[in-house]
Chain A
Amino acid sequence: QKEVEQNSGPLSVPEGAIASLNCTYSDRGSQSFFWYRQYSGKSPELIMFIYSNGDKEDGRFTAQLNKASQYVSLLIRDSQPSDSATYLCAVNTDKLIFGTGTRLQVFP
């Protein structure tokens, strides 16, 4: 069983729509959760982190965490073509474990 699972996509959404990216993890002891954005040919960029159950909002991004269901998600409101990238979910146990990423495509 993979420790951090993401749908590889691509997830295609029209400009202005909400993009919903999902991630599940296997270690119930995980304490912190991160979302990275990676543009093609670039290194990962930290965009959101969440430690507590519930929602955390930062601009157009909302991270949602449900520890009971071992589920973390990222919502991107008013999606823009510039949001097209691969989004990596990462979970911190005693080290940072990355999922394989979901490729998001936002079309005009």
Chain B
Amino acid sequence: SAVISQKPSRDICQRGTSLTIQCQVDSQVTMMFWYRQQPGQSLTLIATANQGSEATYESGFVIDKFPISRPNLTFSTLTVSNMSPEDSSIYLCSVQDEDYEQYFGPGTRLTVT
């Protein structure tokens, strides 16, 4: 399986600011995903990020709040914009292989004060 890294691993941010999370994969992958996991909850898909096209957002998530870049087949960023305490969560990127198996990065733990 691919090796996935995320930066930062954690951050504490003030409300109203923005944070960009980076996801790096050690091999080329077509499909990358961004998830959110709030405390004690399961994973919620934010968007699918395919290289060369606009990200596809799930219901309840909008590009203005969560802009995503996918400049190449090994890298993606997710920005959490104009943060509020409700955005405090773990943000995870994942990649999917040709067998539809998804593997997750270590996550970014975000606290908004």
Chain A residues packing against B (C-beta within 8 Å):
32, 34, 42-46, 49, 88, 90, 92, 95-96, 98-101
Do A44 and B45 contact each other (CB < 8 Å), given the known contacts A32-B100, A34-B101, A49-B101? Answer: no
In the bound complex, CA of A68 to CA of B101 (Å): 23
Does any Cβ of A come within 8 Å of B1's Cβ? yes
Interface of A, secondary structure class, is strand
In the bound complex, CA of A88 to CA of B82 (Å): 31
Kindly report which residue of chain B lies nearest to residue A94, judged by CB atoms.
B48
**Chain A residues whose C-beta falls within 8 Å of the C-beta of B99 in the assembled complex:** 49
Chain A nearest CB: distance from B29 CB in Å?
15
Contact B92 A101 (CB under 8 A): no
In the bound complex, CA of A42 to CA of B112 (Å): 20
Instruction: Enumerate 14 A-B pairs (CB-CB under 8 Å) in ascending A order.
Output: A32-B100, A34-B101, A42-B107, A43-B105, A43-B107, A44-B92, A46-B102, A46-B103, A90-B102, A95-B45, A96-B45, A98-B42, A99-B42, A101-B42
Contact B106 A43 (CB under 8 A): yes
Excluding A43-B92, A44-B43, A90-B102, 20 further A-B contacts by CB distance (< 8 Å) are A32-B100, A34-B102, A42-B107, A43-B106, A43-B107, A44-B92, A44-B104, A46-B101, A46-B102, A49-B101, A88-B42, A88-B43, A92-B100, A95-B45, A96-B33, A96-B45, A98-B42, A98-B43, A99-B42, A100-B42
Chain A nearest CB: distance from B10 CB in Å?
11
In the bound complex, CA of A45 to CA of B77 (Å): 22
In the bound complex, CA of A42 to CA of B45 (Å): 17
